[in-house]
Amino acid sequence: MDTAEIRRRFVDHFERNGHQVVPSASLLLDDPTLLFVNAGMVPFKPYFLGQETAPYQRAVSVQKCVRTLDIEEVGKTTRHGTFFQMCGNFSFGDYFKPGAIEFAWTLITSSVADGGYGFDPEKIWVTVLHGDEETKRLWQEIAGLPLERIQERGKLDNYWNMGVPGPGGPCSEIYFDRGPEFGAEGGPEADEDRYLEIWNLVFMQESLATVRAKDDFDVEGPLPAKNIDTGMGLERVAFLLQGKNNMYEIDEMFPVIEKAAELTGRTYGADAADDVRFRVVADHVRSGLMLMGDGVTPGNDGRGYVLRRLLRRAIRSMRLLGYEGRALEQLLPVSLAKMELGYPDLRKDWQRISQVASAEETAFRKTLAAGTQLFDNAAEETKSSGATVLSGNQAFALHDTYGFPIDLTLEMASEAGLTVDEAGFRSLMAEQRQRAKADAKAKKGQHADTGVYREILDANGPTDWLAYETLETESRSIALLSGGASVGSLAQGEVGELVLDRTPFYAESGGQAADAGVIEFDGGKLEVLDVQRPVRGLVVHQVRVLEGEFAPGSALHAKVDPEWRLGARQAHSGTHVIHAALREVLGPTALQSGSFNRPGYLRLDFGWTQSLTPAQVRDIEQVSNEALRADLPVGWQYMTLSEAKDWGAIALFGETYDDTKVRVVEIGGRWSRELCGGTHVDHSSQIGTLVVTGEASVGSGNRRIEAFTGVEGFQYLARERDVVGELTGLLKTQPDDLVGRVNDLVERLKSTEKELEKVRLAALLGSAGEIAAGAQDVNGINVVAHRLDGAGGGDVRTLALDVRGRLPQDRPGAVVVIGNADGKVAAVAAVNDAGQARGVSANDLIRALGPLLGGKGGGKADVAQGGGTDASRIDEALQLVATEVARAGGS
């Protein structure tokens, strides 16, 4: 039974039993506590936490998941993988233990002909929480399991909680006995390789007050409603039903191994080390495909770094298997052919995915070419010194200068029998980044304790949100908060959070900044600083008291600043226009990955692997303004998410949408259709103007366009006009001739600078003869020690070499010149052949002077150079030259 069929049977089974089919959420679900969705219940977390009310009582899903904590173990064992799929059924206050057990038992043991999986009931074992007699009895009654195949285990194994205060409860795990060839008898307690867990049924029934550890917590009391959360590992069931020994050999993964074997000429199963690499390739190629499918692009931080690491580990594993060609373009299509059966959007996005992967492989091949040799040199140097630890400085240099990721350095060091000073590396990284700013505002929307907001919502219902309908309304206060707690009043100048029964203010979302405005009350006025939705349905205003003292109870009049809203509408509609223009100019793979807009300004991030040409930027700007001139109608309507996708609407990667109702904004019909909850103009001409002000990289595979709209766009153009006017006046030319005139001036300036450089160099070298003539005799060696203030390293080296050339070549000679410019000291030593024969070395001279100058340096016996930061000891260093020459040259 292939994996797609296992997935289909799971969903069909629960749909027949009254469960709402919920599509897999994106791996990039908006949850700041998680880098990626890592469990099937994550999309339902707000329902279990009580932050939102579930729109259905029963649900079934097959959720994409990624876990990367054990990424180094992938391939070394057959149990660790980064991407996996969790089949789950959920009950929100509906059925409980009997229903969950019966549904699971029926599916796994029913015959294949009847739509089940056909597992042998005699090989099924279960575990329950120690002392949970009810669950033991239910397994006996419903499934007919004998007591000897029901084992009790402690909280560490059979109690589920989220690791924080909230819901929790005992769980019952279902195991399949693979047979004596896989381990000892005795059930899961004896051997979890032989007895493989395939399904976990969680019975959420308690509210936890404090959670100190997985098995150490305080129970506050029973939950108001009992819930069910289950998880069946799709890959585990697949390899059991397909008669394989591990997840790497199932139909969704093994074809990648087969392709890798074909490309490398190696055989899977013939060599243990090769097998690890084959499994790394299979896992990481599939995980990379799914992450790119959900909009992740390789980068140096967060999600982007995880993807980069996965792709680069796969590429390097192929190289270790002997394949030097481009690997991803060979392997990703194989994975696509299997994964698109369950996730058809992958095929639609294939062009973008393949472009992102190709760009990353190109970049990594360059990194490998430059960095591998440097690593080998560093490793050899470390070993030759008798050490076993690669220094943090060396690891940092590989990372900072050549883009070698630290995890790759760690892997290569391990293969070379070395370790890495990770603490030293991390310390240097911390010094470089200096990320000291902890802007509290950046944490808006994070899951802090939302309990107080949930209580307000439960007591008063959702806010009557009127942002689409009006700019002002009469309101009354529902709650007033300060520091997360209810307060009775706010004095003039104080800041707090105000919840209204109704509001016209737009709460920040979808990249659009919150509205500005005021809330008036009898005897005073509040300034609205920010507007957020900490829980769905509740709008919270951050306010500052401008006049009077504010206390809840008085009648309020909420007023959005109309100019602010107009500017916001122009900018948000402008973002959609720019996005459509991007796709028209660059092609359909140029998709938005993020945006921000406020009155008069917008920025749009999009997936693209190379910088745009000036002509492309001009074309995007022109297409945008042609759309404005065409006065395209702007409209919106509500529909289901599946209807919106069928209609061609574009959804932003990583955003969460309600499948029961989404808002689709269109500009000019099919030209621009996007899922969006923002405020917009009624016709494109109302945007006024769109002026693209910049295009730049914001990470590998991601670009950003910035633009001004409306009055701000005209103001930007006016400033540009004024600059052109001033320049034409200064240069006494016409605007059309301005570029040519400036080019002429630049060329003349460059020519003049070259002539000046020649004069300056001639003057510098003109003094060389006089300096050489003043050489000091030190034991028969001509020694010159000269100070050259105001000179940098290049001039110092030029003078030192010229002076050495003017010394008599039949006598030993040594020259040291030390310069000082812009707070930096540069020193160069030059020794002729006769001087070297007497034992004088330029390298030794520089090394001796370095500590005095606050630096270091080196080179060869004939020429060496160094630098430092302590100019106060230059004269002392010059005096040391004669001493060092005398010591080296003997008497």
Binding-site residues for Zn(2+), please?
572, 576, 676, 680
d(CA 311, CA 281): 9
Annotated binding site: 572, 576, 676, 680
Note every long-range contact of 393-402, with CB atoms under 8 Å and residues 24 or more positions apart, other chains counting. Answer: 393/424, 393/428, 395/420, 395/421, 395/422, 395/424, 395/425, 396/424, 396/425, 396/428, 396/429, 398/371, 398/374, 399/425, 399/429, 400/432, 402/367, 402/370, 402/371, 402/374
Whether 462 and 443 have beta carbons less than 8 Å apart is answered as: no
β-bridge partners, 695: 705
Question: How far is residue 98 CA from its own chain's centroid?
Answer: 42
| φ, ψ (nearest 5 deg) of residue 381 | -65, -40
Helix (H, G, I), strand (E, B) or coil at 439: coil
Beta strand segments in 716-801, E: 776-778, 781-789
Residue 543 vs residues 311, 538, 558: alpha-carbon distances, Å: 47, 16, 12
Radius of gyration of the chain (CA): 35
Going by C-alpha positions, the residue among 395, 456, 387, 403 that lies closest to residue 422 is: 395
Going by C-alpha positions, the residue among 399, 401, 445 that lies closest to residue 655 is: 445
Going by C-alpha positions, the residue among 858, 815, 818, 850 that lies closest to residue 834 is: 815
DSSP secondary structure of 249-300: GSTTTHHHHHHHHHHH---TTS-HHHHHHHHHHHHHHHHHHHHHHTT----S
Other beta carbons within 10 angstroms of residue 715's beta carbon come to 13
Tokens matching residue 755 = 């002539």
| Cα end-to-end distance, the chain, whole Å | 91
Place of tokens 């220094």: 391
Tokens matching residue 304 = 């982007």
Whether 353 and 340 have beta carbons less than 8 Å apart is answered as: no
Going by C-alpha positions, the residue among 597, 610, 780 that lies closest to residue 690 is: 597
Give CA angle at 133 (131, 135), nearest 5°: 115
Whether 98 and 226 have beta carbons less than 8 Å apart is answered as: no
Query: Which stretches within 51-154 are classed as H helix?
Result: 97-109, 133-138
